[in-house]
Amino acid sequence: MAMERSEEPMGIEKIKVLAYSIPMMGHLTPLLHLSKALAARGHDVLVVSSEFLEVQDKLEAMNVRWRGLKDGEKPVVEVGNGVNFLEDPNGPHFQRYMDLHMSLVSSVLDEEKPDVILADYVGGAAMLCAREKAIPLVVNAALPTTLVARMTTLLRIPLVKRFVTWMQPDVEHPLTFIKEVSVPVCRNTLTIINSCTALDGCGKVPANFFLSGPLDGFESRSLDSNSELMAFLEKAKRAEKPICYITTGSLMQLTEEQVLALYEGFASQEVWAIWSLKKDKQSFLPEGPERERFFVSGWMPQAEIMDLKELSMVLTHCGWGGSLECMMAGKPVICYPGFGDQNANAQMLQKLGVGVGLNPFTATAADVGAAVKQVAENLALYSTTAREISEAIRKSPGPVATAEQIEAAARPGQLEKMLGHKPYHLQTETCVLSCR
C-alpha cells in the first residue's frame, strides 16, 4: 500500500515517487530532470540505479533522495562531473539489468511503498515489479515519437515479430527485449515521449502517449566559473572565426583513426573547436601549431556551451538527448551517429535542414573538413532553420507539465480511465522475458 498522501501548502497532493533507470547516460538523465521537477513541486522522490553512479551530491541539490543498488557493477568509463557510465553500448544490458536488479528493486519498493513508479523504457526490473506489486507505472522514452510509434506497432505484427526472432534469436538482444518487454508496457500505461511535432512531425498518437518535448534547456546557464575555457573563448572571439563544439557522447569509443580524422578535418578549416574527448583518447592528438585552435577536455559543461551565442555549430553523435540540446539551443549540426537510434536521429536532423551528415566508420579528414566547410559556408541558412525549430520546441509541455501527468497517474483509476482498460500494473499476464 502506498504512503498516506498529504496536502502541500501550494495545493498539490504530495506523492511518493520511485524513479528507476539502468545506469546508462541517455536513459538516466531524463529521469533526473523529471525527478527535479517533481521534487520542486513538493513530492518525495527517490532515484534508484547502480550504486557506482556518483550522482548523490547532484540529487541532494535537487532535494531528491538516492538509493544505489549493490549490484556489484563497476564503472568502466569516467565521463566527468561525478558521473560514471558503462562502456559497451551494444552489450545485452537491458535484459541483464532486469535480471540483476529485479530482486533489489523489489526490496526497495517493499521498503519505500511509493505511490507511483517512474521507469525508463528499458527499465524492465521496475516494470515487472510494478505489476507484481500493483503500483501505478509511468514510462519515459527518450526517443523520437515516430520511433516509439514504429516500435509499438511494427513489432506487434506477427510477421515482423517472427523476423526479429529469426534475425536475433538471442533473447538478450536489445531489440528482442524491446519487442517482448518494452512494447507491451508502453502500450498499456502512461508513456512520456521526450519529443514533439516540431521535431519529427508525428501524426496521431495513442491517448496514453504524452509528448513532453525536451525536459531541460529552458534556462540559460553561465560559463563564468570555467576560467580555462573562458580564456580559450576570448582568444577564439578575437580571431573572429567560427567556434565549433565536438561531442561524441560517453559511449562511443573513438579509434585513433577516427580521432585523427576529426582533428585533421577541423584543423583544415578556419575554425576553432571545443572538443569533449575522453582522456585515454587524447594521446592520439598530434602536436603542432593547429592545437592552439582546439580546447580539449575529458568532460565539458555541455549545457552551458550550447548556450553560447558565439557557438556556430556542433558535431554530435546524435543521441536523442544531445539532439534535443542542439535543437533547444538552435545550433546547426554535423551528424556523426554511432549506433542504436542515433542513425535515425541523424536522418531526422538532416531532413529538418539543420546540418549535414558523416559516417563515423568511413569518414576521412577530407570528409570531415568538407562537412565543416559546408556548414560554415551556409551558416546563416542552417542557423535560421535551427532557431525556428528551437522556438517551436520551447512551446512544448516541458518538465513541469510532465510532472503533472505523473501526479495524475498516481491517482487511483486514472490510468484505467486514460486507457479504457486495465493498465499494465493491474494486468496478470506473464511477461515473455520474465526474470530467469
Distance in angstroms (rounded) separating the CA atoms of residues 435 and 103? 9
Same fold: 6-217+396-426 with 227-393: yes
* Domain covering 6-217+396-426, topology: Rossmann fold (3.40.50)
Distances (CA, A) of 129 to 104, 125, 424: 10, 6, 11
Give the mean pLDDT per block of 10 residues along the chain (436 residues). 43 91 91 97 98 92 97 64 45 81 98 98 96 97 81 51 45 72 92 91 82 86 77 92 92 90 97 94 90 92 90 96 94 92 92 96 97 97 97 95 97 94 86 41
Residue-level pLDDT at 54? 86
Tens-digit pLDDT profile for residues 344-385: 899 999 999 999 999 999 999 999 999 999 999 999 999 999
Q: Diameter of the chain by CA atoms?
A: 66
pTM recorded for the entire structure: 0.86
- Residue 243: which of 189, 144, 195, 309 has the closest Cα? 309
Q: For residue 9, what are the contacts with CB-CB under 8 A and spacing of at least 6?
A: none
CB atoms under 10 Å from CB of 85, counted, come to 22
In the chain, where the domains are located: 6-217+396-426, 227-393
Query: Nearest 5°: phi and psi at 296?
Result: -115, 135
Q: What is the pLDDT of residue 432?
A: 42
Class of domain 227-393 (CATH, top level): alpha beta
C-alpha cell at 60: 541532494
Q: Which three cell numbers stand for residue 125?
A: 526490473
Q: What is the pLDDT of residues 109-144, one digit of tens each?
A: 999 999 999 999 999 999 999 999 999 999 999 988
Structure-block grid coordinates of residue 255: 579509434
Q: Which residues contact 319 (CB under 8 A, 6 or more apart)?
A: 25, 26, 249, 341, 342, 345
Please report the pLDDT score of residue 177 as a whole number: 82
Residue 78's pLDDT is: 45
Kind and range of the H or E run holding 275: strand 272-276
| pLDDT (0 to 100) of residue 148 | 75
Separation between Cα atoms, residue 228 and residue 16, nearest integer Å:
42
Task: Tell me which residue of 361, 362, 364, 355 sits closest to 385, measured CA to CA.
Answer: 355
pLDDT at 195: 93
Question: Taking the CB of residue 213, how many other CB atoms lie within 10 A of it?
Answer: 25
One-letter amino acid identity for 27? H
